[in-house]
Amino acid sequence: MNRIAVIFPGQGAQKAGMGKEFYEQYQAAREIYDQASQVLGLDMKELCFEENNRLDLTEYTQCAMVTTSLAMLAVLQEKGLKADVAAGLSLGEYCALAAAGVMAPMDAVRIVRRRGILMQEAVPPGTGAMAAVLSLAAEKIEGVLSGLENVQIANYNCPGQIVISGLKDAVEEACRRLAEAGAKRCILLNVSGPFHSRLLKGAGEKLGEALEAVEINRPAIPYVANVNAAYVTEADPVKELLKEQISSSVRWQQSVETMLEDGVDTFIEIGPGKTLSGFVKKISRQARMLNVEKPEDMEQVLAQITAQQED
């Protein structure tokens, strides 16, 4: 039996022009961008479609990415796409919430705007850092980090790629020790803060307060939470999981494995770039990976899904 997951990328995949063709060609996409502009008091067309110096700032990146992915999702749903499960990497989890019917699209846009501001303000610029650790087993990385303070695993992306996060000095020391332990490379990332580290626990608490006003519905389809890589099928745990997510490790590899074990064989990445596609392929060569970034991608994906369901 074919089971389909819709998955959504996180921060870092943003680029000027993302979603513009969807806006120009589909009313459903226009409505998402226009509504987001109205509720946020920002010109989302300018932010997403034109070259500017704000798109890479966390407080703007997050609402721009979520708006874009949800605009694409709205068109796909209008054309009949039905998923069995949803998931997203970090920020992308909010798109998964909307796809699963847990959170209204504009509530997702509003809350990630607040989330972005809280994360931007959590740690003074220049004091935090993140680094990608290549070709070293998770267990070895965990062992090295256990002897250090103020640094932790931020993302379990896929076999051979794990991201660490924390205070800048601690991350640099961790990189030295991980290289000694056999890591092929440790690459410092161009980010504005130590995301998914304990340093953002205060931001998570403030996000929890903001979430109190957001209506959460029982998932219409399950979604996979970043914090524990487990299916969420009820409304009760959602807010606490989102509060924890800011300062907890993103268990993306484990999340994909959860879906694979449940019989998901087709993953559709919705949003700019193909970052998640690369991760999924490294987790399972058998997984079927599709992408929707442009309208022509969408038509091809819908045709393939239709043919697959008719087989």
Residue listed under structure tokens 């022009």:
17
Smallest CA-to-CA distance from 48 within 11, 19, 13, 10 is with: 19
Helix (H), strand (E) at residue 137: none
pLDDT, tens digit, 9 for 90 and up, residues 236-285: 999 999 999 999 999 999 999 999 999 999 999 999 999 999 999 999 99
Is pLDDT at 195 greater than 80 in this prediction? yes
Q: Averaged over 174-203, what is the pLDDT? A: 95
Confidence at residue 306, expressed as pLDDT on a 0 to 100 scale: 85
What is the token pair recorded at 17?
A: 């022009």
Confidence at residue 1, expressed as pLDDT on a 0 to 100 scale: 54
Confidence at residue 311, expressed as pLDDT on a 0 to 100 scale: 65
- The model's confidence at residue 226, banded by pLDDT at 50, 70 and 90, is very high
* % pLDDT > 90, the chain: 94
What is the token pair recorded at 197?
A: 């580290």
What is the token pair recorded at 46?
A: 């300018």
**Average pLDDT taken over every residue of the chain:** 96
Q: Averaged over 161-177, what is the pLDDT? A: 97
Distance in angstroms (rounded) separating the CA atoms of residues 145 and 227: 19
pTM: 0.96
Residue listed under structure tokens 């290289």:
179
What is the token pair recorded at 200?
A: 């953002």
Sign (positive or negative) of CA dihedral 104, 109, 112, 113: negative
Residue listed under structure tokens 């914090």:
227
Distance in angstroms (rounded) separating the CA atoms of residues 65 and 115: 13
Is pLDDT at 65 greater than 60 in this prediction? yes
pLDDT, tens digit, 9 for 90 and up, residues 109-149: 999 999 999 999 999 888 999 999 999 999 999 999 999 99
What is the token pair recorded at 263?
A: 């019989």
Confidence at residue 2, expressed as pLDDT on a 0 to 100 scale: 81
Is pLDDT at 58 greater than 80 in this prediction? yes
Confidence at residue 191, expressed as pLDDT on a 0 to 100 scale: 84
Smallest CA-to-CA distance from 249 within 186, 174, 168, 165 is with: 165
Distance in angstroms (rounded) separating the CA atoms of residues 195 and 157: 14
Instruction: Name all domains of the chain by residue range, CATH numbers in brackets.
Output: 4-122+198-310 (3.40.366.10), 128-188 (3.30.70.250)
Pairing of the two strands 85-88 and 223-224: parallel
Is pLDDT at 54 greater than 90 in this prediction? yes
Is 90 labeled as catalytic in the residue annotation? yes
Q: Averaged over 55-61, what is the pLDDT? A: 93
Is pLDDT at 190 greater than 90 in this prediction? no
What residues contact residue 57 under an 8 Å CB cut-off, 6+ apart? 120, 192
Distance in angstroms (rounded) separating the CA atoms of residues 58 and 10: 11
- The model's confidence at residue 289, banded by pLDDT at 50, 70 and 90, is very high
Distance in angstroms (rounded) separating the CA atoms of residues 45 and 17: 9
What does the radius of gyration of the chain's CA atoms come to, in whole angstroms?
19
Residues paired with 179 in a beta bridge: none
Catalytic annotation, pick one of 90, 192, 255, 277: 90
Confidence at residue 41, expressed as pLDDT on a 0 to 100 scale: 98
Distance in angstroms (rounded) separating the CA atoms of residues 141 and 148: 11
* % pLDDT > 70, the chain: 99
Helices 168-180 and 138-145: crossing angle in degrees, nearest 10, is 130
What is the phi-psi region of residue 270: left when phi exceeds 0, alpha when psi lies from -120 to 50, beta otherwise?
beta
Catalytic annotation, pick one of 69, 165, 192, 196: 196
Distance in angstroms (rounded) separating the CA atoms of residues 275 and 106: 25
- The model's confidence at residue 216, banded by pLDDT at 50, 70 and 90, is very high
